[in-house]
């Protein structure tokens, strides 16, 4: 579910509630998440204050006193909210952290349990944790040269490249499709098919789409809510994602759907050209890419 804009929204919502606040009690349910929660972490967290709440890619990073980090991933259906302690406990709530004021709780809820919560100690292991997974740079930190280099060197399709967290961290299925539409690029093009302009355009599109989605507090299709329980609004601005058969907002051609990199992929068959730069260089059209619909 949650991609960079959703996780960023959660982090921004949680930050004012958690920063400087101590955990007074931790409760963990029996059913395990992607990684099991260890009982010893309860004791290690109680009495400790939150130093900061940050985001890295799709990860929520909560720095705690006592040289620890609470690392949370929302998977597909994770919700991480501060709620009044008396709020009814919803089904699929797996972790509850009582906050020092006694009136509020931080709760982790996850229907499909693809999410995870881990306590890392010491804090310095955070860097190696991300390094081992090869987590790439934040999209807003990526410069032109890096993007050109990584794109030109790969025969993988653009959709797969954008979903690969090692290249750029935080893009998921929705924003990959939306960015490719914004850049007018066919998702099945290979990285090395693109000229410099196209690569630069894609980098720009990723940033613009993510930034706008953050402004709209992310996208709520079914389960996603921010850290305050509020839904996002960007789903109202989708141009292709989930709009199979509806008219393209630019040219009215029906939006098409195909499976790429194992994921449902939505695009406009007319304005997302299979050749790189249709208006400028029809010559560059690669024959292998203009067959099949």
Partner DNA sequence: ATAGGCGCCTGCTGGC
Partner DNA sequence: TGCCAGCAGGCGCCTA
| Residues with catalytic function | 2-3, 58, 263
Q: Which is nearer to DNA, 25 or 112 (CB)?
A: 112
Q: How far is the CB of 240 from DNA (least distance, A)?
A: 12
Determine if 6 is a binding residue for DNA (CB under 7 A). yes
Q: Which is nearer to DNA, 99 or 268 (CB)?
A: 268
DSSP E strand stretches across the chain: 23-28, 50-56, 59-64, 68-73, 78-84, 93-99, 104-110, 116-120, 256-260, 263-267
Rounded to an integer, what distance in angstroms lies between the CA atom of residue 284 and that of residue 274?
A: 11
Rounded to an integer, what distance in angstroms lies between the CA atom of residue 13 and that of residue 68?
A: 21
Site string for DNA, 189-228 (x = CB under 7 A): -----------------------------xxxxxxx----
Residue 250, phi then psi, degrees to nearest 5:
-95, -45
- On whether the CB atoms of residues 79 and 95 are closer than 8 A, the answer is no
Residue 26, phi then psi, degrees to nearest 5:
-130, 130
Q: Which is nearer to DNA, 66 or 264 (CB)?
A: 264
- On whether the CB atoms of residues 52 and 16 are closer than 8 A, the answer is no
Q: Which is nearer to DNA, 157 or 198 (CB)?
A: 157
Determine if 154 is a binding residue for DNA (CB under 7 A). yes
Rounded to an integer, what distance in angstroms lies between the CA atom of residue 8 and that of residue 166?
A: 19
Q: How far is the CB of 184 from DNA (least distance, A)?
A: 21
Determine if 165 is a binding residue for DNA (CB under 7 A). yes
* Interface ranges with DNA (CB under 7 A): 1-3, 6, 31-32, 34, 57-58, 73, 75-76, 91-92, 111-114, 133, 154-157, 160, 163, 165, 172-174, 218-224, 232, 260-264
């Amino acid at each position: 579910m949650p991609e960079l804009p959703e996780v960023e929204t959660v982090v921004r919502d949680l930050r004012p509630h958690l920063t400087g606040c101590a955990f007074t009690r931790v409760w963990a349910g029996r059913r395990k998440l992607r990684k099991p929660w260890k009982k010893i972490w309860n004791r290690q967290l109680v009495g400790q204050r939150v130093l900061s709440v940050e985001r890295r890619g799709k990860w929520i990073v909560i720095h705690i006193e006592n040289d620890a980090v609470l690392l949370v991933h929302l998977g597909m259906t994770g919700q991480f909210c501060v709620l009044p302690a008396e709020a009814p406990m919803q089904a699929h709530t797996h972790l509850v952290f009582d906050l020092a004021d006694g009136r509020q709780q931080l709760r982790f809820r996850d229907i499909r349990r693809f999410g995870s919560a881990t306590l890392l100690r010491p804090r310095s292991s955070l860097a190696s944790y991300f390094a081992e997974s090869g987590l790439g740079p934040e999209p807003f930190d990526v410069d032109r040269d890096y993007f050109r280099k990584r794109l030109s060197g790969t025969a993988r399709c653009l959709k797969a490249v954008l979903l690969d967290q090692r290249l750029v961290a935080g893009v998921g299925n929705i924003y990959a499709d939306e960015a490719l539409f914004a850049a007018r690029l066919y998702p099945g093009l290979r990285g090395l098919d693109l000229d410099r302009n196209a690569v630069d355009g894609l980098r720009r599109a990723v940033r613009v789409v993510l930034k706008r989605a953050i402004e709209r507090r992310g996208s709520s299709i079914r389960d996603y809510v921010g850290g305050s329980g509020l839904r996002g609004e960007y789903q109202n601005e989708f141009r292709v994602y989930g709009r199979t058969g509806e008219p393209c907002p630019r040219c009215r051609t029906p939006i098409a759907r195909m499976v790429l990199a194992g994921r449902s992929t939505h695009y406009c068959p007319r304005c997302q050209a299979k050749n790189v730069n249709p208006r400028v260089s029809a010559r560059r059209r690669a024959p292998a890419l203009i067959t099949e619909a």
